[in-house]
């Protein structure tokens, strides 16, 4: 029993270190309260581009790919912001910092392989140099607002890159600052944030919960909560424990 306990503690420490390291690689996410508003700043990590099969595979630490068939496989960062007992009235972008990468690129389009019977020249839109049929997602999207244990969480998605078909130009989204207007008990509790994509996808509206559609950015994730909310997250942690490495940080009130 003592050996097993030591192993569990060592494994927990290893997972926590991996999750913390992953959060640093993904780029910081900060939240500050200003009266009835939350000002949020999100920085994306540099893009990682590899050439494969005539296409550029674009990735960024802390991000997963697009889930929309027909859309380009560009990195998307999922995160949530804990709002305390306040809800979201609205949100607005304040500033966007971009970096244009030198050269021309050809990202791959997300979708099923083209049947052989389709013949030459009938591949995907991206392969032909035409925009895909699927609508490109918003730069910053509010996926859903969820209530857990009397407190609210806003689940967001942020694109880490943009692509221009006419020029083949690829742009990294370096940093986004946005403001959330709160309604309700805006002064209750501290605001917390996490870049846990799998946690967000587990309850965010519009996400397919099949394993194949879950974000695959990392094997582990970091969950930030408090003593009051921890019991509500425990079933989630236990349900994923057989597949994913999971660690938590409890924030004292």
Tokens of 38: 């939350």
Of residues 116 and 129, more confidence is placed in 129
Q: How far is CA 98 from the centre of its chain?
A: 18
Question: 3-state SS of the chain: helix, strand, coil percent to 5?
Answer: 20, 40, 40
**pLDDT tens digits for 196-235?**
444 444 443 333 333 333 333 333 444 555 565 556 556 5
Predicted pLDDT at 68: 66
Give the range of the structural domain holding residue 229, as residue numbers without chain letter: 2-251
Average pLDDT score over residue span 237-245: 46
Predicted pLDDT at 226: 56
Average pLDDT score over residue span 6-17: 34
Domain tally for the chain? 1
Average pLDDT score over residue span 168-180: 94
CA distance 58 to 74: 6
Q: What percent of the chain has pLDDT over 90?
A: 19
Q: Vertex 245, ends 242 and 249: CA angle to 5°? A: 125
Predicted pLDDT at 32: 75
CATH number (domain holding residue 236): 2.60.40.3800
Q: Nearest 5°: phi and psi at 138? A: -65, 160
Please check the confidence at residue 157 and state whether its pLDDT lies above 70: yes
Tokens 């660690």 — which residue? 247
**pLDDT tens digits for 44-83?**
989 999 999 889 999 988 787 665 667 788 988 877 787 7
């Amino acid at each position: 029993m003592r050996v097993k306990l030591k192993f569990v503690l060592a494994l927990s420490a290893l997972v926590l270190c991996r999750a913390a390291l992953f959060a640093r690689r993904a780029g910081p996410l900060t939240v500050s309260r200003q009266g009835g508003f939350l000002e949020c700043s999100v920085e994306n990590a540099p893009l990682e581009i590899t050439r494969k099969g005539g296409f550029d595979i674009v990735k960024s630490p802390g991000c997963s790919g697009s889930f929309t068939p027909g859309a380009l496989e560009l990195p998307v960062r999922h995160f949530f912001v804990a709002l305390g007992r306040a809800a979201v009235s609205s949100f607005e972008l304040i500033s966007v910092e971009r970096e244009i990468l030198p050269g021309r690129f050809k990202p791959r389009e997300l979708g099923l392989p083209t049947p052989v019977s389709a013949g030459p020249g009938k591949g995907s839109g991206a392969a032909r140099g035409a925009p895909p049929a699927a609508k490109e997602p918003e730069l910053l999207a509010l996926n859903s607002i969820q209530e857990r244990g009397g407190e609210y969480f806003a689940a967001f998605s942020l694109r880490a890159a943009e692509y221009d078909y006419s020029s083949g130009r690829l742009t990294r989204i370096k940093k986004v600052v946005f403001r959330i207007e709160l309604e309700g008990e805006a002064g209750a509790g501290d605001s917390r944030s996490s870049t846990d994509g799998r946690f967000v996808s587990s309850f965010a509206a519009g996400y397919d919960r099949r394993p194949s559609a879950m974000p695959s950015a990392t094997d582990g994730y970091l969950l930030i909560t408090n003593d009051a909310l921890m019991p509500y997250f425990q079933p989630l942690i236990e349900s994923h424990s057989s597949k994913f490495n999971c660690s938590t940080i409890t924030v004292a009130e």
